[in-house]
Amino acid sequence: MEQFKHHVSQHRDGTYSLGISIDQGYMTPEDFTTLSDLAKKYGVTTLMATTAKKISFMDVKEENVNPLWEDLEQAFGSRLCFPKGKVIVCPGSRFCKFATPGRDNHAIGREVERISKAHDAGKVKVGVSCCPLGCAMPRVRDLGILATARGWMLTIGGNGGAKPGVGEVIAQDLTEEELLALLDKVYQYFQENKNGKERTIRTVERLGIDHLKAAILK
């Protein structure tokens, strides 16, 4: 079997899906043309827009996975992300009339990807919304980030899976700098204290939100 340069999922027919993110899902028409050209070049018949604003090449042959990834890197450079953090960012500060003035959730999303990449905290899904309406589903993601008129709110332990749960507020009314510093601590904490592949909701259940808050905020 090939050594892949990143995670892919194998399908029943032996092909693989390769999911990528370009600028958190906000792309130009030219980007779509490039993606289409690469899909045709490697015989990919189906592209999927995922719930996490990724594009997934759905039926990539094993021998084409790495060449396709290399072409994607060549075409998109630093705009290309294979997001282990799985960050969803709502249209917010770039497009939405409801976005909280003065808050840039796209900049926060990019910073979260950077912080995520700097740690090995396992699967941490993040939603970054620019108002409390929460279109990026922050309260049911491992980490939820919401802009309010008073500042940023951070929640932890949301999950939309088999045993769903709503994230607990860990801090609010934060400046951007305070939020990013806290996120760094949260990723560091999970890197050091995660229990195998445990998701944040299970960590909250195991340790209790008060213990977790005290440990992270100290």
Contacts with ligand SF4, 7-46, as mask; x by CB under 6 A: ----------------------------------------
Strands 9-10 and 16-22: antiparallel
- Rounded Cα distance, 115 and 49, in Å: 25
Q: Does 102 bind ligand SF4 (CB under 6 A)?
A: no
Q: Which is nearer to ligand SF4, 33 or 51 (CB)?
A: 51
Q: Does 134 bind ligand SF4 (CB under 6 A)?
A: yes
Q: Does 131 bind ligand SF4 (CB under 6 A)?
A: yes
Q: Does 128 bind ligand SF4 (CB under 6 A)?
A: no
Q: Which member of 18, 121, 126, 130 binds ligand SF4 (CB under 6 A)?
A: 130
Q: Which is nearer to ligand SF4, 131 or 212 (CB)?
A: 131
Q: Which member of 48, 49, 118, 133 binds ligand SF4 (CB under 6 A)?
A: 133
Stretch that binds ligand SF4, among 9-17, 66-74, 118-126, 132-140 (CB under 6 A): 132-140
Cross-sheet strand order for the sheet of 126-129:
87-89, 126-129, 143-148, 151-156, 168-174
> What is 104-155 written as a DSSP string?
-HHHHHHHHHHHHHTS------EEEESSTT-TT-GGGSSEEEEEETTEEEEE
Q: Which is nearer to ligand SF4, 35 or 174 (CB)?
A: 174
Contacts of residue 122, Cβ cutoff 8 Å, sequence gap at least 6: 190, 194, 197, 198, 199
Q: Does 90 bind ligand SF4 (CB under 6 A)?
A: yes
- Rounded Cα distance, 4 and 135, in Å: 33
Smallest distance, Å, CB 135 to ligand SF4?
3
In sign, the C-alpha dihedral spanning 25, 27, 29, 32 is negative
Nearest to 81 by CA among 55, 46, 61: 55
Stretch that binds ligand SF4, among 41-49, 53-61, 76-84, 89-97 (CB under 6 A): 89-97
Smallest distance, Å, CB 50 to ligand SF4?
18
Q: Does 60 bind ligand SF4 (CB under 6 A)?
A: no
- State the virtual CA torsion across 167, 210, 112, 57 in degrees, nearest 10: -40
**Residues of the shown chain interacting with ligand SF4 in the complex, contacts defined by CB under 6 A:** 90-92, 96, 98-99, 129-131, 133-135
